[in-house]
Chains A and B, each alone.
Chain A
Amino acid sequence: MTEESANGRLVSRRGILKTTGAATAFSLAGCQGGSAGDSNTFTIGALHPLSGDAAEMGTRFKDVVGAGVQAVNGGADLSPLAGASGEGLQGQDGATVEVLWRDHQGDSDVARTEAESLVLDEGADMLTGCFYSGSTKAVSQVAEREGVPHVCGTAIGEGLTERGLDWFWQVPPHTGIKGESMFNFASDMNAEYDAGLERVAIIHQDGTFGTEVANSMVGVIENSDEFEQAPDTISYNASSVSSLSSQIGAIRDADADIIVHAANVRDALIMLEDMKTEDYYPEMMLTPGSAYLDPSVLEESVSEYVFSGSDFSNDMYSIHPPMGEYNSYAEENSGTPFDGSNIYAWGEFFTAIAAANQADSLDPGDLQSSLNSLSLDPYVSGLPYPVEFNDKGYNTEAFSFVVQADDEKLETVWPFDQAQDDAMTYPVPSWSDR
């Protein structure tokens, strides 16, 4: 029944009742009995972008980690991989591992909500994630407030460990380190091949990722005598850009030797296509990875010969055989092989596993101590480098190498002694020669 007051305002009693009823129903639905708190389950709350711009990456993370969970719980023999030598976590009486996935949609606010829900409602023992710096910060704040470890293997922002948090650890090399690797490579190219690389154009998408990377790159260049920026850093709005030809024009006019491009998949493709249209290619296209390592970009022929700082290459298995085994396992069990992005998720998961396995118990305090004193050899964490955190929580042993895209594959080209013969193509052929 609806009521009507003479100047036109209707207040429906039924409407009010409906709302109250719905609210009550929802509140009861909100009863979630968390399965963690069971002493024999190790619960990880994983927060990643499963919808939105980075959804494909998030989904591949999930696939690969799913395989990881199976490896641990099912006791696949993948030594020296942490936790994969017997059913469950051997260091915790065979505790089962479960991973609760939450989609933060790239929104830090959602990330915070979901993180709190994971910890307070679901009783997660540890949090992992989150790919985006913003979400990572929000989640690590939650971790710090609630006293739960947050192991981050998928976000590479430089300042993340500078915030003085006690419950946050970062596994992969941050953008500063990556930048150094990239420019050490360029420097070696100058020394070894007389490449004459000097002027660097930095162009980035104006989101958190792009801005952070750009800031790191600028920092590296400023500290270097060999390189200088030309022109000034260019940024653009990734969501709304439709063409980068004006920006390319500016770069061309400044006579840059190297282009550093921090991008999402769509704008990476736009950049490459526009460069082709303009028939322009610098001496070297050197990227911090991310989009340029993504299969959607690699499958386009315009992406060939691009150099990237990366923790992954398709030929790394010859130098790091255990990674090859892990890759086969992951692919068999989830249908998704390793790639430039999901390898981080794999490492993130196994670092968490290693820490849990070695801890005195699954209590937060013990997990924290375990992480602080962690010292893993390469491959134990699922990554080709060791894991050992400094007192700020940063993994000082992490490094990047440089790869080049060739025929949809990434080949290691630097350090030179880790590269296969003939892996590198330099100078890069011009558009008409391809």
Chain B
Amino acid sequence: MIGLAFGLVAAGLGLIWGVMDIVNFAHGEHMLIAMYVTLLASAELSVSPLLLLPVNAVLMFVVGYGTYVVIIKRTMDGPVLGQVLCTFGLLLAIRYGIIYLVGPSTRTVSNFAFDGSTVAYGVSVSHPAVLTAVVSVVTIVLLYLLLERTAIGKAIRATAQDKQAAQVLGIETDRIYAVSWGIGLAATGVAGTMIATYFPIQPNATPGVWTIASFAAVALGGLGSITGAVIGGIVIGLVQHLGATLIDPSYQQLYVYVVLIGALLYQREGILNWVTDR
């Protein structure tokens, strides 16, 4: 079930990656922002996380858009190294910024309206997890519709396929990039909001898990494809669980890393072709 959440987060990453070939190393950290908003709002203001869903979505959209305009844009013309380093720098700045401002302690959302679990068909299921899955599915569908049906969506896909052609067609690629960042991060924000309801969040540990998992999911599922990323996410969730259950629980994270490397290698044909086509 956690796979769906992975899928959503991966979709966000995949969007940015697919459209502009930038890997956002700070993906997990951006998600952290949304998580912390949720945590703090629910702790201090007793606002239900569900209410925060749209809030975080909008917030993260703005953050994404802003990040692109202010920061990423400047690295677009430079070497790839610049982009890698840039997002890495963001990783550090955001993660430790949060630690500085809020402290490194582990936090949870308490008193969530949907706390608790039921046993259905012999499998026990936690309510927040189900809710997260539902929200993830809904969001994924929304994303899909956005990309397939709306004008902006089509513009985004056009730019992803061929930047020059898109420019010729009069699409402001720059704005599209910014929007992609916005949407990508908004998706992540939604995921983060829900995840915060049933996972303890720790600024050092939590982002790493999600960043790597979403990388693996996107690598598995194919870049630029939402469905691919989602499927990838589900697979990763399964891999983690099965690997721990069947092989050796002590190496749980290793399986994800192996899958990630494997996916990247296996895909190389596709990657190389895709890179040279651009």
Chain A interfacial positions (CB closer than 8 Å to B): 51-53, 55-56, 206, 234-243, 245-247, 249-250, 264-266, 269-270, 273, 276-279, 296, 300
Contact = CB atoms under 8 A, between A and B. Distances in A.
B258 interface: no
A56 B106 CA distance: 10
Contact of B202 (A51, A245, A249, A266): A266
B104 A246 contact: no
Contacts of A242: 2, 199, 209, 240
B117 A276 contact: yes
B124 A277 contact: yes
B42 interface: no
Contacts of B151: none
Given A51-B99, A245-B241, A240 B205 contact: yes
B244 A246 contact: yes
Contact of B106 (A235, A247, A266, A276): A266
**10 nearest interchain CB pairs?**
A246-B244, A277-B126, A269-B200, A266-B106, A266-B202, A240-B253, A239-B205, A235-B250, A246-B245, A55-B104
A-side interface mostly: mixed
A265 B202 CA distance: 9
23 contacts: A52-B104, A53-B205, A55-B99, A55-B103, A56-B103, A235-B250, A236-B249, A237-B252, A237-B253, A239-B205, A239-B208, A240-B212, A240-B252, A242-B209, A243-B2, A246-B252, A247-B244, A249-B245, A265-B202, A266-B206, A269-B200, A270-B200, A296-B106
B127 to A, nearest CB: 9
Interface string B100-141: 000111111010000001010000111001000000000000
B125 to A, nearest CB: 7
A300 B110 contact: yes
Given A239-B204, A242-B2, A247 B249 contact: yes
A53 B204 contact: yes
B200 A51 contact: no
Given A279-B117, A296-B105, 19 more contacts: A52-B204, A55-B99, A206-B250, A234-B249, A237-B252, A239-B205, A240-B209, A241-B253, A246-B240, A246-B241, A246-B245, A246-B252, A250-B245, A266-B200, A266-B201, A269-B106, A270-B199, A273-B126, A277-B126
B210 to A, nearest CB: 8
A236 B124 CA distance: 23
B103 A236 contact: no
A244 B34 CA distance: 24
Interface in B187-237: 198-202, 204-206, 208-209, 212
